[in-house]
Structure 1
Protein backbone atom coordinates (compact mmCIF):
# COMPACT_ATOMS: atom_id res chain seq x y z
CA UNK A 1 0.00 0.00 0.00
CA UNK A 2 2.91 2.37 0.64
CA UNK A 3 3.82 2.28 -3.04
CA UNK A 4 0.30 3.26 -4.07
CA UNK A 5 0.34 5.97 -1.38
CA UNK A 6 3.56 7.27 -2.94
CA UNK A 7 1.96 7.24 -6.38
CA UNK A 8 -1.10 9.04 -4.99
CA UNK A 9 1.18 11.68 -3.49
CA UNK A 10 2.80 12.29 -6.89
CA UNK A 11 -0.63 12.39 -8.50
CA UNK A 12 -1.91 14.98 -6.03
CA UNK A 13 1.08 17.21 -6.75
CA UNK A 14 0.49 17.08 -10.50
CA UNK A 15 -3.30 17.17 -10.39
CA UNK A 16 -3.31 20.14 -8.03
CA UNK A 17 -0.68 22.09 -9.95
CA UNK A 18 -1.64 25.60 -10.85
CA UNK A 19 1.97 26.51 -11.58
CA UNK A 20 4.01 23.75 -13.24
CA UNK A 21 7.26 25.15 -11.82
CA UNK A 22 6.01 24.82 -8.23
CA UNK A 23 4.89 21.26 -8.90
CA UNK A 24 8.30 20.45 -10.34
CA UNK A 25 9.93 21.78 -7.18
CA UNK A 26 7.70 19.56 -5.05
CA UNK A 27 8.46 16.52 -7.23
CA UNK A 28 12.19 17.28 -7.01
CA UNK A 29 11.87 17.37 -3.22
CA UNK A 30 10.67 13.77 -3.37
CA UNK A 31 13.60 12.76 -5.53
CA UNK A 32 15.97 14.48 -3.11
CA UNK A 33 14.37 12.79 -0.10
CA UNK A 34 14.79 9.35 -1.68
CA UNK A 35 18.52 9.91 -2.19
CA UNK A 36 19.09 10.83 1.47
CA UNK A 37 20.04 8.24 4.08
CA UNK A 38 16.95 7.00 5.92
CA UNK A 39 18.03 8.69 9.16
CA UNK A 40 17.98 12.12 7.48
CA UNK A 41 14.56 11.82 5.89
CA UNK A 42 11.53 13.60 7.38
CA UNK A 43 10.15 10.92 9.67
CA UNK A 44 6.83 12.68 10.27
CA UNK A 45 5.76 12.20 6.66
CA UNK A 46 3.71 8.97 6.56
CA UNK A 47 4.46 8.30 2.89
CA UNK A 48 8.21 8.61 3.47
CA UNK A 49 7.93 6.37 6.53
CA UNK A 50 5.82 3.88 4.56
CA UNK A 51 8.62 3.42 2.03
CA UNK A 52 11.15 2.32 4.65
CA UNK A 53 10.11 -1.37 4.61
CA UNK A 54 10.55 -1.49 0.82
CA UNK A 55 14.00 0.00 1.18
CA UNK A 56 14.84 -2.44 3.96
CA UNK A 57 13.81 -5.25 1.61
CA UNK A 58 16.48 -4.10 -0.85
CA UNK A 59 14.62 -1.67 -3.10
CA UNK A 60 16.76 1.25 -4.26
CA UNK A 61 14.11 3.96 -3.92
CA UNK A 62 15.76 6.38 -6.31
CA UNK A 63 16.20 3.80 -9.07
CA UNK A 64 12.79 2.20 -8.53
CA UNK A 65 10.58 5.21 -7.86
CA UNK A 66 12.51 7.95 -9.66
CA UNK A 67 10.93 6.94 -12.99
CA UNK A 68 7.47 7.19 -11.39
CA UNK A 69 8.20 10.76 -10.30
CA UNK A 70 9.56 11.63 -13.74
CA UNK A 71 6.51 10.07 -15.36
CA UNK A 72 4.17 12.26 -13.37
CA UNK A 73 6.42 15.24 -14.05
CA UNK A 74 6.05 14.71 -17.80
CA UNK A 75 2.37 15.58 -17.53
CA UNK A 76 3.32 19.08 -16.44
CA UNK A 77 4.35 19.73 -20.06
CA UNK A 78 1.17 18.61 -21.88
CA UNK A 79 2.22 20.25 -25.15
CA UNK A 80 5.31 18.08 -25.32
CA UNK A 81 4.67 15.35 -27.89
CA UNK A 82 6.47 12.76 -25.76
CA UNK A 83 4.82 13.69 -22.46
CA UNK A 84 2.09 11.05 -22.64
CA UNK A 85 4.51 8.23 -23.44
CA UNK A 86 6.95 9.40 -20.75
CA UNK A 87 4.10 9.37 -18.23
CA UNK A 88 2.98 5.86 -19.19
CA UNK A 89 6.54 4.51 -19.15
CA UNK A 90 7.45 6.18 -15.86
CA UNK A 91 4.32 5.46 -13.89
CA UNK A 92 4.19 1.92 -15.24
CA UNK A 93 7.51 1.26 -13.46
CA UNK A 94 5.58 1.20 -10.18
CA UNK A 95 4.43 -2.36 -10.91
CA UNK A 96 8.03 -3.55 -11.27
CA UNK A 97 8.68 -2.51 -7.67
CA UNK A 98 5.85 -4.78 -6.53
CA UNK A 99 7.44 -7.60 -8.54
CA UNK A 100 10.82 -6.92 -6.92
CA UNK A 101 9.30 -6.98 -3.43
CA UNK A 102 7.33 -10.15 -4.13
CA UNK A 103 10.36 -11.86 -5.64
CA UNK A 104 8.27 -13.31 -8.44
CA UNK A 105 10.67 -12.60 -11.31
CA UNK A 106 8.08 -11.38 -13.79
CA UNK A 107 9.48 -7.88 -14.24
CA UNK A 108 8.69 -7.55 -17.96
CA UNK A 109 5.12 -8.74 -17.46
CA UNK A 110 4.69 -6.39 -14.50
CA UNK A 111 6.07 -3.49 -16.52
CA UNK A 112 3.75 -4.13 -19.47
CA UNK A 113 0.76 -4.38 -17.16
CA UNK A 114 1.91 -1.26 -15.33
CA UNK A 115 2.05 0.73 -18.55
CA UNK A 116 -1.47 -0.29 -19.52
CA UNK A 117 -2.71 0.45 -16.00
CA UNK A 118 -1.06 3.89 -15.99
CA UNK A 119 -2.73 4.88 -19.26
CA UNK A 120 -6.10 3.45 -18.23
CA UNK A 121 -5.91 5.07 -14.80
CA UNK A 122 -5.19 8.50 -16.27
CA UNK A 123 -8.07 8.29 -18.71
CA UNK A 124 -10.40 6.96 -16.03
CA UNK A 125 -9.50 9.38 -13.25
CA UNK A 126 -8.14 12.51 -14.81
CA UNK A 127 -8.89 12.90 -18.47
CA UNK A 128 -12.07 14.21 -19.95
CA UNK A 129 -14.01 12.36 -22.62
CA UNK A 130 -12.21 14.26 -25.37
CA UNK A 131 -8.84 13.34 -23.88
CA UNK A 132 -9.79 9.66 -23.77
CA UNK A 133 -8.89 9.44 -27.44
CA UNK A 134 -5.22 9.56 -26.43
CA UNK A 135 -5.74 6.18 -24.85
CA UNK A 136 -5.21 3.62 -27.53
CA UNK A 137 -4.40 0.00 -26.93
CA UNK A 138 -3.21 -2.29 -29.67
CA UNK A 139 -5.03 -5.51 -30.45
CA UNK A 140 -1.92 -7.37 -29.26
CA UNK A 141 -1.95 -5.56 -25.91
CA UNK A 142 -5.67 -6.18 -25.51
CA UNK A 143 -5.27 -9.90 -26.20
CA UNK A 144 -2.27 -10.00 -23.86
CA UNK A 145 -4.21 -8.22 -21.12
CA UNK A 146 -7.05 -10.74 -21.45
CA UNK A 147 -4.70 -13.69 -21.11
CA UNK A 148 -2.00 -12.51 -18.72
CA UNK A 149 -1.69 -14.43 -15.46
CA UNK A 150 0.50 -13.10 -12.71
CA UNK A 151 1.77 -15.13 -9.77
CA UNK A 152 -0.61 -15.26 -6.82
CA UNK A 153 1.50 -12.78 -4.83
CA UNK A 154 0.81 -10.18 -7.51
CA UNK A 155 -2.91 -10.91 -7.83
CA UNK A 156 -3.88 -7.38 -6.66
CA UNK A 157 -2.04 -5.98 -9.69
CA UNK A 158 -3.74 -8.53 -11.88
CA UNK A 159 -7.08 -7.33 -10.53
CA UNK A 160 -6.24 -3.78 -11.60
CA UNK A 161 -5.42 -5.13 -15.04
CA UNK A 162 -8.75 -6.93 -15.13
CA UNK A 163 -10.61 -3.74 -14.23
CA UNK A 164 -8.80 -1.96 -17.07
CA UNK A 165 -9.66 -4.77 -19.48
CA UNK A 166 -13.35 -4.59 -18.63
CA UNK A 167 -13.45 -0.82 -19.19
CA UNK A 168 -11.48 -1.08 -22.42
CA UNK A 169 -13.75 -3.78 -23.81
CA UNK A 170 -16.79 -1.64 -23.04
CA UNK A 171 -15.04 1.52 -24.30
CA UNK A 172 -16.48 3.20 -21.21
CA UNK A 173 -14.24 4.98 -18.76
CA UNK A 174 -16.93 6.89 -16.92
CA UNK A 175 -18.74 4.02 -15.18
CA UNK A 176 -18.56 4.01 -11.37
CA UNK A 177 -15.64 1.91 -10.09
CA UNK A 178 -17.83 0.27 -7.44
CA UNK A 179 -20.50 -1.05 -9.78
CA UNK A 180 -21.73 -4.56 -8.86
CA UNK A 181 -20.74 -6.26 -12.14
CA UNK A 182 -17.16 -5.01 -11.85
CA UNK A 183 -17.00 -5.95 -8.19
CA UNK A 184 -18.18 -9.48 -8.91
CA UNK A 185 -15.73 -9.89 -11.81
CA UNK A 186 -12.83 -8.67 -9.68
CA UNK A 187 -13.71 -10.90 -6.73
CA UNK A 188 -13.86 -13.90 -9.07
CA UNK A 189 -10.55 -12.93 -10.64
CA UNK A 190 -9.02 -12.37 -7.22
CA UNK A 191 -10.04 -15.83 -6.08
CA UNK A 192 -9.30 -17.80 -9.23
CA UNK A 193 -6.95 -15.74 -11.36
CA UNK A 194 -9.39 -15.99 -14.27
Structure 2
Protein backbone atom coordinates (compact mmCIF):
# COMPACT_ATOMS: atom_id res chain seq x y z
CA UNK A 1 0.00 0.00 0.00
CA UNK A 2 2.88 2.37 0.74
CA UNK A 3 4.02 2.18 -2.90
CA UNK A 4 0.56 3.28 -4.01
CA UNK A 5 0.59 6.16 -1.53
CA UNK A 6 4.06 7.26 -2.66
CA UNK A 7 2.92 7.28 -6.30
CA UNK A 8 0.04 9.70 -5.64
CA UNK A 9 0.28 13.40 -6.46
CA UNK A 10 0.72 15.63 -3.37
CA UNK A 11 -2.88 16.90 -3.28
CA UNK A 12 -4.38 13.41 -3.38
CA UNK A 13 -1.89 12.16 -0.79
CA UNK A 14 -2.81 15.05 1.51
CA UNK A 15 -6.55 14.57 0.88
CA UNK A 16 -6.33 10.85 1.67
CA UNK A 17 -4.54 11.62 4.94
CA UNK A 18 -7.74 13.26 6.23
CA UNK A 19 -9.82 10.12 5.75
CA UNK A 20 -10.42 8.03 8.87
CA UNK A 21 -8.08 5.05 9.11
CA UNK A 22 -10.91 2.64 8.29
CA UNK A 23 -11.71 4.34 4.97
CA UNK A 24 -8.26 5.60 3.96
CA UNK A 25 -7.53 2.47 1.87
CA UNK A 26 -10.69 3.16 -0.15
CA UNK A 27 -9.49 6.66 -0.97
CA UNK A 28 -5.96 5.52 -1.77
CA UNK A 29 -7.31 2.81 -4.06
CA UNK A 30 -9.52 5.31 -5.85
CA UNK A 31 -6.74 7.88 -6.28
CA UNK A 32 -4.31 5.21 -7.51
CA UNK A 33 -6.86 3.90 -10.00
CA UNK A 34 -7.45 7.42 -11.32
CA UNK A 35 -3.73 7.81 -11.81
CA UNK A 36 -3.39 4.43 -13.54
CA UNK A 37 -6.31 5.15 -15.87
CA UNK A 38 -5.01 8.63 -16.68
CA UNK A 39 -1.65 7.08 -17.56
CA UNK A 40 -3.30 4.40 -19.71
CA UNK A 41 -5.27 7.06 -21.59
CA UNK A 42 -2.66 9.80 -21.72
CA UNK A 43 -2.41 12.11 -24.67
CA UNK A 44 -0.17 10.92 -27.45
CA UNK A 45 -1.13 7.28 -27.17
CA UNK A 46 -2.80 5.57 -30.07
CA UNK A 47 -6.58 5.24 -29.60
CA UNK A 48 -6.41 1.45 -30.02
CA UNK A 49 -3.75 1.18 -27.31
CA UNK A 50 -5.85 3.31 -24.98
CA UNK A 51 -8.86 1.11 -25.59
CA UNK A 52 -6.85 -2.07 -25.00
CA UNK A 53 -5.41 -0.81 -21.72
CA UNK A 54 -8.79 0.41 -20.52
CA UNK A 55 -10.46 -2.85 -21.62
CA UNK A 56 -8.20 -4.76 -19.23
CA UNK A 57 -9.42 -2.61 -16.34
CA UNK A 58 -13.04 -2.86 -17.50
CA UNK A 59 -12.75 -6.65 -17.62
CA UNK A 60 -11.21 -6.84 -14.14
CA UNK A 61 -13.83 -4.55 -12.63
CA UNK A 62 -16.60 -6.64 -14.20
CA UNK A 63 -15.37 -9.66 -12.22
CA UNK A 64 -15.84 -10.32 -8.54
CA UNK A 65 -12.76 -9.20 -6.62
CA UNK A 66 -12.11 -12.77 -5.49
CA UNK A 67 -11.32 -13.66 -9.13
CA UNK A 68 -8.85 -10.81 -9.69
CA UNK A 69 -5.26 -11.75 -10.49
CA UNK A 70 -3.04 -11.91 -7.45
CA UNK A 71 0.12 -9.85 -7.44
CA UNK A 72 -1.29 -6.57 -8.78
CA UNK A 73 -1.05 -4.15 -5.81
CA UNK A 74 -3.70 -1.83 -7.17
CA UNK A 75 -6.24 -4.62 -7.57
CA UNK A 76 -5.46 -5.73 -4.03
CA UNK A 77 -6.10 -2.16 -2.84
CA UNK A 78 -9.41 -2.11 -4.73
CA UNK A 79 -10.63 -5.33 -3.11
CA UNK A 80 -12.77 -3.44 -0.53
CA UNK A 81 -14.58 -1.79 -3.47
CA UNK A 82 -16.06 -5.13 -4.54
CA UNK A 83 -19.65 -4.08 -3.82
CA UNK A 84 -19.15 -0.80 -5.72
CA UNK A 85 -17.15 -2.06 -8.71
CA UNK A 86 -19.70 -0.51 -11.09
CA UNK A 87 -18.69 2.99 -9.97
CA UNK A 88 -15.04 2.23 -10.73
CA UNK A 89 -15.99 0.71 -14.06
CA UNK A 90 -17.78 3.95 -14.95
CA UNK A 91 -14.41 5.70 -14.44
CA UNK A 92 -12.92 3.46 -17.10
CA UNK A 93 -15.75 4.36 -19.45
CA UNK A 94 -15.24 8.03 -18.64
CA UNK A 95 -11.56 7.90 -19.53
CA UNK A 96 -12.38 6.14 -22.76
CA UNK A 97 -14.99 8.77 -23.63
CA UNK A 98 -12.52 11.53 -22.82
CA UNK A 99 -9.70 10.23 -24.99
CA UNK A 100 -11.39 8.17 -27.66
CA UNK A 101 -14.99 9.34 -27.85
CA UNK A 102 -16.60 12.62 -28.74
CA UNK A 103 -18.33 13.34 -25.43
CA UNK A 104 -15.43 15.20 -23.85
CA UNK A 105 -14.94 15.32 -20.08
CA UNK A 106 -18.63 15.14 -19.07
CA UNK A 107 -18.83 11.31 -18.72
CA UNK A 108 -15.62 11.25 -16.67
CA UNK A 109 -16.83 14.02 -14.38
CA UNK A 110 -20.17 12.22 -13.89
CA UNK A 111 -18.27 9.01 -13.13
CA UNK A 112 -16.22 10.84 -10.49
CA UNK A 113 -19.42 12.04 -8.85
CA UNK A 114 -20.61 8.43 -8.87
CA UNK A 115 -17.35 7.31 -7.25
CA UNK A 116 -17.85 9.85 -4.45
CA UNK A 117 -21.36 8.48 -3.87
CA UNK A 118 -19.93 4.95 -3.81
CA UNK A 119 -17.22 6.03 -1.36
CA UNK A 120 -19.92 7.52 0.86
CA UNK A 121 -21.91 4.26 0.78
CA UNK A 122 -18.79 2.20 1.55
CA UNK A 123 -18.06 4.60 4.42
CA UNK A 124 -21.63 4.31 5.76
CA UNK A 125 -22.34 7.99 5.19
CA UNK A 126 -26.06 8.70 5.17
CA UNK A 127 -26.06 12.32 3.98
CA UNK A 128 -25.89 11.50 0.28
CA UNK A 129 -27.31 14.83 -0.99
CA UNK A 130 -24.47 16.75 0.68
CA UNK A 131 -21.86 14.37 -0.72
CA UNK A 132 -23.32 14.56 -4.21
CA UNK A 133 -23.55 18.36 -4.04
CA UNK A 134 -19.90 18.65 -2.99
CA UNK A 135 -18.82 16.18 -5.69
CA UNK A 136 -20.73 18.07 -8.37
CA UNK A 137 -19.19 21.35 -7.23
CA UNK A 138 -15.73 19.73 -7.23
CA UNK A 139 -16.19 18.65 -10.83
CA UNK A 140 -17.85 21.99 -11.77
CA UNK A 141 -21.06 20.19 -12.73
CA UNK A 142 -23.07 22.39 -10.39
CA UNK A 143 -22.72 26.03 -9.42
CA UNK A 144 -20.99 26.67 -6.13
CA UNK A 145 -23.44 27.37 -3.38
CA UNK A 146 -22.69 29.27 -0.22
CA UNK A 147 -21.97 28.16 2.38
CA UNK A 148 -19.84 25.19 1.46
CA UNK A 149 -21.40 21.90 2.51
CA UNK A 150 -19.99 20.45 5.72
CA UNK A 151 -19.01 16.94 4.86
CA UNK A 152 -18.86 14.03 7.29
CA UNK A 153 -15.42 13.01 8.52
CA UNK A 154 -15.27 10.03 6.17
CA UNK A 155 -15.63 12.42 3.22
CA UNK A 156 -13.04 15.01 4.29
CA UNK A 157 -10.84 14.16 1.30
CA UNK A 158 -13.69 15.36 -0.92
CA UNK A 159 -13.80 18.63 1.04
CA UNK A 160 -10.10 19.11 0.27
CA UNK A 161 -10.56 18.31 -3.42
CA UNK A 162 -13.61 20.55 -3.76
CA UNK A 163 -12.04 23.47 -1.93
CA UNK A 164 -8.77 23.28 -3.81
CA UNK A 165 -10.57 23.04 -7.17
CA UNK A 166 -12.59 26.11 -6.24
CA UNK A 167 -9.49 28.20 -5.59
CA UNK A 168 -7.27 26.62 -8.25
CA UNK A 169 -3.69 27.83 -8.27
CA UNK A 170 -4.57 31.17 -6.62
CA UNK A 171 -2.28 32.25 -3.82
CA UNK A 172 1.16 31.26 -2.70
CA UNK A 173 2.19 27.63 -2.27
CA UNK A 174 2.12 28.14 1.51
CA UNK A 175 -1.35 29.69 1.28
CA UNK A 176 -2.64 26.75 -0.79
CA UNK A 177 -1.13 24.29 1.67
CA UNK A 178 -2.73 26.07 4.63
CA UNK A 179 -6.08 26.15 2.80
CA UNK A 180 -5.85 22.40 2.20
CA UNK A 181 -5.05 21.84 5.90
CA UNK A 182 -8.07 23.91 6.97
CA UNK A 183 -10.35 22.06 4.57
CA UNK A 184 -9.15 18.72 5.84
CA UNK A 185 -9.47 19.68 9.49
CA UNK A 186 -12.91 21.29 9.48
CA UNK A 187 -14.43 19.82 6.35
CA UNK A 188 -15.25 23.07 4.54
TM-score between both structures, scaled by the size of structure 2: 0.74
Gaps of 5+ in 1: 120-136, 168-172
Aligned CA RMSD, in angstroms, stands at 2.4
Structure 2 residue matching 1:113: 3-state secondary structure: helix
1:9 is aligned to 2:36:
yes
Q: Distance in 2 between matches of 1:161 and 1:106?
A: 17
Please list every run of at least 4 consecutive aligned residues from structure 1 whose deviation after the TM superposition is greater than 6 angstroms: none
Aligned-pair CA distance for 1:17: 4.9
Count, aligned residues = 161
Name the residue aligned to 1:75.
Answer: 98
Residue 53 to residue 77, structure 1, CA distance change in 2 (3 Å): closer
SS of equivalent to 1:143: coil
Equivalent residues in 2 for 1:24-63 (5 A)? 24-55=51-82, 59-61=83-85, 63=86
What is the rounded CA distance, in whole Å, between the counterparts of 2:112 and 2:48 in structure 1? 20
**Quick check: 2:62–2:89 contact (8 Å CA) kept in 1?**
no
Structure 2 unaligned segments of length 5 or more: list them: 1-27
Looking at structure 1, the residues matched to 37 and 126 of structure 2 have their Cα atoms a distance apart, in angstroms, of 26
Matches for 1:47-126 after TM superposition, within 5 Å: 47-55=74-82, 59-61=83-85, 63-77=86-100, 80=102, 82-118=103-139
Q: In the superposition, relative to structure 1, how do residues 65 and 190 fare at CA in structure 2: closer, same or farther (>3 Å)?
A: same
TM-score (norm 1): 0.72
